[in-house]
Chains A and B, each alone.
Chain A
Amino acid sequence: MSERQKFNVIGKSVKRSDMLEKVTGAARYAGDLTLPGMLHGKLKRCEIAHANIKRIDTSKALALAGVKAVLTHKDVPHVLHYGSPHPRSASVTKDQYILDTKVRYWGEAVAAVAATTEDIADEAIRLIEVEYEALPAAITLDDAMAAGAPVIHDNGLEGNRVVPDMLFKRGDVEKGFAEADIIIEGNYAVGRPQPAYMEPNVCVAQWDGSDKLTLWTSTQSAFMVRGTLAEVLGLPLGKVRVLCDHMGGGFGAKQDLFQHEFLCALLSRQTRRPVRMEYSRKECFLGGRSRHPGTIWLKQGFKRDGTITARAAKVVFDSGAYGSHAPGVTAVGASALTSLFRCENVHLEGKCVYTNTPIAGAFRGYGVVQTYYALDIQIDEAAEKLGMDPAELKLKTAVREGDIAPSGHAIVGHGLEDCIREGMKAVGWKERPVGCGSAAYRTVSPADGAVRADALPHPTSKKVRGWGIGCEMHGSSAYPGIKEQGNALVNLNEDGSATLLTGAAGLGTGAHTALCQIVAEELGLEFEAVSVVHGDTDIVPWDIGAFASHTTYMVGTAAKMAAAEIKQKLLARAADQLEVSAGDLEVEGGFIGVRGVPGRGISVRDCVAPKLGIPAAHLFGSGTYMPTKSYSFGAHFVEVEVDTGTGQIDVLQVVPVHEIGKVIHPIAAAGQIEGGIQQGIGHTLTENHEIDPKTGRSLNANFVDYKMPLSMDMPDIKTIILETAPDPGGPWGAKGVGEDPIIAIGPAIANAIYDATGVRFRHYPITPEQVLEGLARRRHV
């Protein structure tokens, strides 16, 4: 790859391929489908956190006019399966049934109904009678890990462990702590935010005359859904077809296979009619997937110059009632602590535990949100103790080229250092107004060596301001947890246009557009000449799913390989036609030209189809790419204002700096960053799915009580994207960006609150009440 390579299509914010449909209301989501004779399905959910089902009486429901089928655990295959569809990877665990004889969280489905209308299905659900034998429940992590705790899954592991504990170690932490000048130790706690995708989980199932199941569903992982459905329902793979055109967000959680997807298929099989099932918003909270709540104990040793001599951590994640992604999230989250800020001696323990609460699953940032929240805040704490500027300490200890990443790979480039430096420059970090926090580094203030008067709150004002910096890195692809594979097929059409077939999901990120840009760039076509086919497991090449920031990185490389194969065939044909050597040809804007001879050449269309409309040959290319891993980096600079009278925290501005290699579509990349910041602000300040610690009941399963940052809450965001550390594994050096932006914003806010108030928070969400308590405590010290 030449540094000065000229690009015609990538790096430009072309009009996204999915936009026209989306702005006209024509885009079809799974829930928009209506089929002749379609029935409506609903789930009966339990209202108890842990119980055996003694008896289910469905007779009244079945007697209701319009009810066509009712299913309970007695009527469905009893096959243990993975909740998360990476069945051959180490990141998941097999612990779910479609419907079980036991319920393990308040809101778990115990029966399903299909009826001619939604209203009748709702009524039928009410008529199902369930008698439970209540079991003692373990709602909190402490409950679940206590001696004699109720056993949630009888998997032979003590203390409700999902899998045996994990250990990631390097060097000698004891020696490292012995060499330290200061040691900082703290307990950090993280809440239970929800992905809160706008499109509720929804699917439509239909069986055809050959006993083949077609499922339209909102999923990030159509092929995983196909594989797991086939396995659990005992069908050959060829008898399951999964379709998903557009989807209204997923953010990781829609990788899992949900109860309604199995039950909708089974209701449809039993009734021989199509069945549609859609979660209510409340059901998205109850039956969806949250981020893993948990606790992180973290201890680090530092030399006076800031060198980190040792890092020890104990990460405990609450998986909820089923394993879903807990093993993967725990491994990725705990092992992430080997990196970001350099340290030779690490000893990191990871544990994931079942509780009788709704299931935690995959969610953007995958364990790293939690552990880097703790790590970054603790580096801020260290900076104060060492009398250093926090940004300087983070820059000094930032991971750099050649360091070993959590995946075991050597880091490429100096992305994190670049982000920190660039952000410090952009916000005028060294000249920033001084917060009211009592941080020691504040005693050495800018310019005149004294606290700037204009930075202090106005005598009558109760509002104080502060700045914080947070850092992150995240991998593109899930390697080494999963050995992934990206595939692409490209066909050249008789008019010189190309069609890309991809299994990558249309999650809403713009990834399909990026893939088309990559094909157009490689093949020398205009962007508009490349169209995309996706979302049908019977047609497109196999795909593992849209997650782990890997679509552009991994499928993008496969698409580039496929385009390169066609280009080679195309140039060979053109060389014959033009009687020149293929090596002398180049393609640009749909024209194959002879290098150095302006005007001499042939259009792609004439090369493919000399007789108009009839292709002379089927020109296609395929690409398969098995990536290892690359890392993207980010540093967020945040200014907050805290009202010391009410405890209200306002994020005033965010300057996110991200290093993501070659940018394929700048607006889409920035959109990922800004959307991630929105979710991260929510995590840090307001979002928490509250579960009653006594009953396990959800307390805020709606969008009024579960408060997300909306248009009035969002700060100005001045996004800066760097391309300074391209990765050889991605197309033209491109890396992922989806996961990264949600990680750094949290600690940046927490650090800014400290700068503003002098109150250190080691958990999220940080509420106004806690701010007031913190300020009151500080006044008493």
Chain B
Amino acid sequence: MKRNITTTINGEARELAVETFHSLLDALRNAAGLTGTKKGCDVGDCGACTVILDGAPVCACLVLAAETDGCNVTTIEGLQSAPGSLHPLQESFMMLGGAQCGFCTPGILMMAKALLDENPNPTDDEIRFGIAGNICRCTGYTKIIDAIRDAAVQLRQEAKGGGKS
């Protein structure tokens, strides 16, 4: 049985018809047409589908779509503030080798955003802990950690009004 929900996705109120037993992940990928969020396991083990739901990172595969009626969801497609204006995390991942095959990347970027929103100046151990639920099979995490650390510096400079170095 389908249910109509209204969920704000990346700032836009979206009216979606979803099966009551479907996940937010399937709703995003199919009903909303936002395929940037990836399905790596569908059971909450890999983190590839991480999105930000009302300010908190979640595995979209573990949330029922119907539960998000009236909620705010940010996906990878909403990470940049405007076309051509990337989030510092996106810049850092591009320049420092934070992505290889790119399949875990949307989830890791969203998890990293949630981490830096909460803790703008994380230690490397805190970064490792922050993305502990996100499986990356390509990079060995070294360059992901470099990229998050670098983006944190940029964000702190921006917050101080210093802009990008």
Contact = CB atoms under 8 A, between A and B. Distances in A.
Interface of A: 13, 15-16, 18-29, 31-32, 34, 119, 195-200, 246-249, 251, 278, 280-281, 507-510, 667-668, 670-671, 674-679, 702-704, 708, 710-712, 714, 717, 719
A677 B140 contact: yes
Interface string B89-132: 11001111111111111100100000000000000000111011
B68 to A, nearest CB: 18
Nearest to B92: A23
Contacts of B94: 15-16, 19-20, 23
Given A23-B86, A32-B35, A678 B101 contact: no
Q: Which of A16, A18, A25, A714 has the most CB of B within 10 A?
A: A25
10 contacts: A24-B77, A24-B86, A24-B90, A25-B76, A199-B40, A246-B101, A249-B137, A249-B138, A675-B138, A711-B131
B158 interface: no
B140 A198 contact: no
Interface string B61-105: 000000000000001110110000010011001111111111111
Contact of B135 (A278, A280, A708): A708
B136 interface: yes
Contacts of B79: 24-25
Contact of B38 (A199, A509, A668, A670): A199
A22 B99 contact: yes
B48 A510 contact: no
Q: Which of B46, B75, B144 has the most CB of A within 10 A?
A: B46
Interface in B117-165: 127-129, 131-132, 134-145
Nearest to B130: A711
B56 interface: no
State the majority secondary structure of interface residues on B. Answer: loop
Contacts of B128: 711-712, 714
Given A24-B80, A510-B100, A675-B137, A198 B48 contact: yes
Given A15-B94, A16-B94, A199-B38, A671 B100 contact: yes
Interface of B: 19, 29-30, 33-43, 45-46, 48, 75-77, 79-80, 86, 89-90, 93-106, 109, 127-129, 131-132, 134-145
Nearest to B89: A23
Contacts of B29: 32
A737 to B, nearest CB: 13
A-B pairs with the 7 shortest C-beta distances? A25-B36, A508-B101, A248-B103, A22-B102, A25-B76, A674-B140, A703-B45
A670 B97 CA distance: 9
A77 to B, nearest CB: 31
Given A22-B105, A24-B90, A281-B43, A712 B132 contact: yes
A509 B39 CA distance: 21
A119 B46 contact: no
Contacts of A281: 40-43, 45-46
Contact of A196 (B77, B137, B141): B137
Contacts of A714: 128, 140-142
A191 B95 CA distance: 37
Q: Which of A249, A507, A702 has the most CB of B within 10 A?
A: A249
Contacts of A251: 137
A66 to B, nearest CB: 13
Contacts of A510: 100
Given A19-B93, A34-B30, A281-B40, A667 B143 contact: yes
A507 B42 contact: no
Contacts of A670: 97, 142-143
A260 to B, nearest CB: 16
Contact of A18 (B89, B90, B102, B109): B102
Given A20-B94, A23-B94, A23-B109, A198 B135 contact: yes
B45 A704 contact: yes
Given A24-B79, A199-B38, 7 more contacts: A281-B41, A675-B139, A675-B140, A677-B140, A678-B140, A703-B46, A711-B132
Contacts of B38: 29, 198-199, 248
A674 B97 CA distance: 11
Contact of B145 (A19, A704, A711): A711
Nearest to B40: A198
A668 B139 CA distance: 10
B109 to A, nearest CB: 7
A509 B100 contact: yes
Contact of B95 (A15, A509, A676): A15
Q: Which of A21, A197, A714, A719 has the most CB of B within 10 A?
A: A714
Contacts of B99: 19, 22-23
A24 B98 CA distance: 13
A483 to B, nearest CB: 29
B163 to A, nearest CB: 20
Nearest to B139: A675
Nearest to A714: B141
Contacts of A195: 137
Nearest to B106: A25
B101 A248 contact: yes
B97 A671 contact: yes
Nearest to B77: A25
B1 to A, nearest CB: 12
Contact of A29 (B34, B103, B127, B141): B103
A19 B101 CA distance: 9
A422 B139 CA distance: 24
A671 B105 CA distance: 14
A671 B98 CA distance: 9
A719 B34 CA distance: 37
A121 to B, nearest CB: 14
A508 B143 CA distance: 14
B137 A667 contact: no
A400 to B, nearest CB: 30
Contacts of B93: 19, 23
Contact of A25 (B75, B95, B97, B101): B75
A97 B9 CA distance: 46
A717 B45 contact: no
B81 to A, nearest CB: 12
A219 B127 CA distance: 33
Contacts of B145: 711
A453 B27 CA distance: 61
Given A196-B137, A679-B137, A702-B41, A249 B86 contact: no
A26 B135 contact: no
A26 B36 contact: yes
A717 B140 contact: yes
B140 A249 contact: no
Nearest to A249: B101
Given A20-B94, A22-B99, A671 B45 contact: no
Contacts of B33: 34
Contacts of A278: 39
Contacts of B103: 29, 197-199, 248-249, 508
Nearest to A680: B140
